[in-house]
Copies of this chain bind each other. A is one copy, B any other.
Amino acid sequence: MRSTCGTERSGGDDLTTRARIRDAAVARFAREGFHRTTMRAVAADAGVSPGLLIHHFGSKDGLRRQCDEYVLAWFVQRARAEASTDGLREVIASFVADPAATRVPMDYMARAVTEGTPTGAGFIDTMITETEQYVHAGVADGTLRPVDDARATAVVMAMGSLAMLLLPDQIARTLGEPAFGPTVLRRLTGPLLQLYTEGLYTDETVRRITEDSLAALDGAGSHGTEAGPEGSTR
């Protein structure tokens, strides 16, 4: 083990070999997913031999664990920065300056989520729990309307951000933009603000109809479909 464990930033060219390998692995995992990236490809990207990856990380899974930890730390640091006004401004500025750079940890986390790793699951959990706290606080101070089910509301709110994390390229493509950058974010901001401040339906019709239908389903299904059709064939 070395004393410079895990705290090197990946900016300059004078990185530890270990850090260079880790950066190469993060990039590959982000771009191609864990299963498709080969140790040899990572080694080649880092300019070392395949054996060295084993020497430093024990196995491919060990390498993944280190990458998970590193990317998670990136997100934590970023979230902390976003808390302050100046930090947020800086985060936005860096994204505007070079959207592609932000994409690497983003895509990595997207892979972690879709591949169902513990890191991805934990990321979603904290994301939704923090959104839930925001909902509670907002309702308490009158910023947000009262909600029935704060947790479910948080899930609905978070799903939008999650989709942006998971499908940036698809979103950019359907908007006819060349890549996911400030322009795309700009176009999504308007509709999102409209939705959250005044909704989209002009009246209560859809809400009433849907809730009536659900109530009717409850009435009709009360003879056998009531509690726990979940996981019947699982």
The answer for the CA separation of A114 and B34 in the assembled complex, in Å, is: 13
Contact with B along A152-180 (1 / 0, CB 8 A): 11011101101110110111011111110
A172: nearest chain-B partner, CB-CB: B230
The answer for the CA separation of A197 and B175 in the assembled complex, in Å, is: 25
Query: CB distance A191 to B98 under 8 Å?
Result: no
- Residues of chain B lying within 8 A (CB to CB) of residue A155: 171, 174-175, 188, 191
Q: Does A199 contact B (CB under 8 A)?
A: yes
Q: Does A96 contact B (CB under 8 A)?
A: yes
Query: CB distance B191 to A197 under 8 Å?
Result: no
The answer for the CA separation of A36 and B33 in the assembled complex, in Å, is: 11
Interface centre among A35, A114, A200, A225 (most CB of B within 10 A): A200
- Residues of chain B lying within 8 A (CB to CB) of residue A113: 167, 170
- Residues of chain B lying within 8 A (CB to CB) of residue A197: 199-201, 203-204, 206-207
Contact with B along A199-216 (1 / 0, CB 8 A): 111111111001100100
Q: Does A19 contact B (CB under 8 A)?
A: no
Interface residues on A, range: 35 or more
Distance from A27 Cβ to chain B, minimum over Cβ atoms (Å) = 13
Q: Which of A76-123 contact B (CB under 8 A)?
A: 92, 96-101, 113-114, 116, 121
Query: CB distance A202 to B142 under 8 Å?
Result: yes
Distance from A137 Cβ to chain B, minimum over Cβ atoms (Å) = 13
- Residues of chain B lying within 8 A (CB to CB) of residue A33: 35
- Residues of chain B lying within 8 A (CB to CB) of residue A159: 159-160, 163-164, 167, 171
Interface centre among A145, A170, A192, A202 (most CB of B within 10 A): A170
With A124-B174, A156-B195, A178-B231 already in contact, 15 other A-B pairs whose C-beta atoms are closer than 8 Å: A99-B232, A100-B234, A113-B170, A114-B114, A149-B191, A152-B187, A152-B190, A153-B200, A156-B191, A162-B163, A179-B231, A189-B214, A193-B206, A194-B207, A195-B195
Chain A to chain B: the 4 pairs with minimum beta-carbon distance, closest first: A159-B163, A153-B191, A181-B230, A152-B187
